[in-house]
Amino acid sequence: MQLDNVDKKIILALSDDGRASIEVIAEKVGLSPTPTRRRVKRLEDEGVVRGYRAEIDPEKCGLELAIYVFVKLQSRDRATIAKFEARILNLPEVQRCDLISGVHDYILTLRLPDMKNYNLYLREILAELPGVFGIETSVVIGKVKESCALPLG
């Protein structure tokens, strides 16, 4: 799908406030509400806009520790990858899992209450994942920038 400038403005408006009314979005992008509604519906139908969510502060929910876990697998065969990824999908503490290039195979983003909980999680969950050969951990010391907005120009 090719995005024009109006589509990009709609996406930016929704990124800024996913609960904004069609009228507010229409005003921001310079269209009337009816064509704006059609465009938003098309963006949703085509999967550009995948959903609308509440932005929750993990720290205020008791999940103060943010951790990046770099995982290296013993083997990169299909069966090992499939087993590893299937298990990851069922771990709520894993906020994100990306297959990466370089020395490691995956990077996981985790949220946990504290280091004591991570120590248990590392020993009882991560170390027991299928095919895991090596694990390296980086603890987030502080947040510099966080954005959901895409650089659409």
pTM of the model: 0.85
Average pLDDT (6-23) is 94
E strand or H helix at 128, and its extent?
none
- Which domains does the chain carry? 5-45 (1.10.10.10), 59-139 (3.30.70.920)
pLDDT, one tens digit per residue, over 50-93 is 999 888 999 999 999 999 999 999 999 999 999 999 999 999 99
| 125 burial level (CB within 10 Å; 0-12, 13-18, 19+) | middle
Q: How far is 102 from 136, CA to CA, in rounded Å?
A: 14
